[in-house]
Amino acid sequence: MKQQTLAMAAEHETGFEQHRRPTRRDEFLDKMNRIVPWAGLCAVIEPHYPKRGNGRPPIGLERMLRIHFIQHWFNLADFACEEALYDIASLRHFAGIDLGCEAVPDATTMLKFRRLLEKHNLNEQLFAEVGRLLQGSGMTLKTGTIVDATIIAAPSSTKNVEKKRDPEMHQTKKGNQWHFGMKLHIGADSQSGLAHSAVVTPANVHDKHPLPDLLHGQEQRVYGDSAYASQKDLIHSKAPKAKDFTNCRTRRPGGEVDEVKRGKNRNKSKIRARVEHVFAVIKRLWGFTKVRYRGLAKNAGRVFTALALANIYLSRNRLMAQVRP
């Protein structure tokens, strides 16, 4: 039997595609395509999106939103996302791009779309819309809130035109380690573990200061680590009916450990650990361990979109059960 060349194999459809199987990226994108509420999210952006006029028609809104989400899921900058769309067929299929008929939107177009979201505060509105849709599906119960914070690093180098670091970021000491960047504070539902509120501050701001902004006011219990201990007044100022279930300090003045309080903290931590799942998705799966832009406002926009996508990802099994096969 004569050996076929690659061109002959492609012509007779006996090439590599015959033995192709779905990759984990394909399965992830297919699942996100089915469970992300595209119509509801596009409705939030549509009033501010450019309309068709006498000039060049704008690229479809849903396509740009899909590309924007690809940037978050795979931690891609604008130029890297443009090249990835040219290089990876599964990403083009998810975005609905056919290179035989059209080109991939360039990096400048992605930049303008991101600035449109930042200008009209649409990232926070997308986060709120996802929360509203998940609540309508019975995902959040709002009986309790878990509050926690994490540090997201920023470049500490001064090798730039201004010869200084980002003035809106700050340094802080955690343990024996110094960190420079911003701090992400979130409030998550104690039952589902989904984030319902978020605040971005410089890294040196204490965890307790944004506490009232992380509560929705209907809580019956508030969970947190020892950084939120003895903050009953702050909790009751926003949620009068809430009980303080934050971790107590277990070490007595003499240096002895109160084993009773330690056991209570251990029971509380079993519930409080659910908030760490949100941080794990954002920082490990989405790769948001370091800021990409200067200033808190631009990075806050990225935070709210990442949280919205994290809530969808954490609810994927229940959402898939509601999707028709």
Question: Could you tell me the CATH number of the domain that includes residue 179?
Answer: 3.30.420
- Range with the poorest average pLDDT among 105-109, 250-254, 273-277, 285-289: 250-254
- Are 289 and 145 contained in the same domain? yes
- When comparing pLDDT for 249 and 169, which is higher? 169
Please check the confidence at residue 4 and state whether its pLDDT lies above 80.
no
Which residues face 172 on adjacent strands? 179
- Mean pLDDT value across residues 219-240: 88
* Contact status, residue 210 vs residue 235, Cβ threshold 8 Å: no
Q: Please count the other Cβ atoms lying within 10 Å of the Cβ belonging to residue 271.
A: 16
Please check the confidence at residue 251 and state whether its pLDDT lies above 90.
no
How confident is residue 231, by pLDDT bands cut at 50, 70 and 90? confident
Name the phi and psi angles at 246, rounded to 5. Answer: -75, 155
- Are 176 and 278 contained in the same domain? yes
Q: Which residues contact 304 (CB under 8 A, 6 or more apart)?
A: 123, 124, 126, 127, 198
- Range with the poorest average pLDDT among 167-176, 228-237, 256-265, 316-325: 256-265
Please check the confidence at residue 242 and state whether its pLDDT lies above 80.
yes
- Are 87 and 218 contained in the same domain? no
Q: Which residues contact 3 (CB under 8 A, 6 or more apart)?
A: none
How confident is residue 34, by pLDDT bands cut at 50, 70 and 90? very high
The reported pLDDT for the residue numbered 12 is 43
CA distance 110 to 59: 11
224 in a structural domain: yes
Following DSSP, what letter does each residue of 106-120 receive, concatenated? PHHHHHHHHHHHHHT
Q: What's the total number of domains in the chain?
A: 2
- When comparing pLDDT for 56 and 108, which is higher? 108
- Mean pLDDT value across residues 300-319: 95
pLDDT tens column, 162-218: 888 999 999 999 888 999 999 999 999 999 999 999 999 999 999 999 999 999 888
Following DSSP, what letter does each residue of 29-58 receive, concatenated? HHHHHHHS-HHHHHHHHGGGSPPP-SSSPP
- Mean pLDDT value across residues 103-129: 96
How confident is residue 322, by pLDDT bands cut at 50, 70 and 90? confident
CA distance 164 to 166: 7
What CA–CA distances, in Å, run from 300 to 108, 122, 227? 21, 11, 23
309 in a structural domain: no
- Are 215 and 283 contained in the same domain? yes
Q: Please count the other Cβ atoms lying within 10 Å of the Cβ belonging to residue 254.
A: 5
In the numeric block, the tokens 């878990």 are attached to: 146
- Are 268 and 152 contained in the same domain? yes
Q: Which residues contact 154 (CB under 8 A, 6 or more apart)?
A: 165, 166, 169, 180, 181, 182, 290, 291
- Are 92 and 211 contained in the same domain? no
Q: What angle do CA 226, 127, 152 make, to 5 degrees?
A: 45
300 in a structural domain: no
Put simply, whether the predicted model's pTM sits higher than 0.85 gets the answer: yes
The reported pLDDT for the residue numbered 6 is 42
Please check the confidence at residue 319 and state whether its pLDDT lies above 80.
yes
CA distance 169 to 284: 22
107 in a structural domain: yes
Return the percentage of the chain with pLDDT > 90, whole number. 64
The reported pLDDT for the residue numbered 282 is 96
Expressed as residue numbers, the domain containing 288 is: 141-294
Which residues face 195 on adjacent strands? 188
For the chain, the average pLDDT equals 88
CA distance 123 to 115: 10
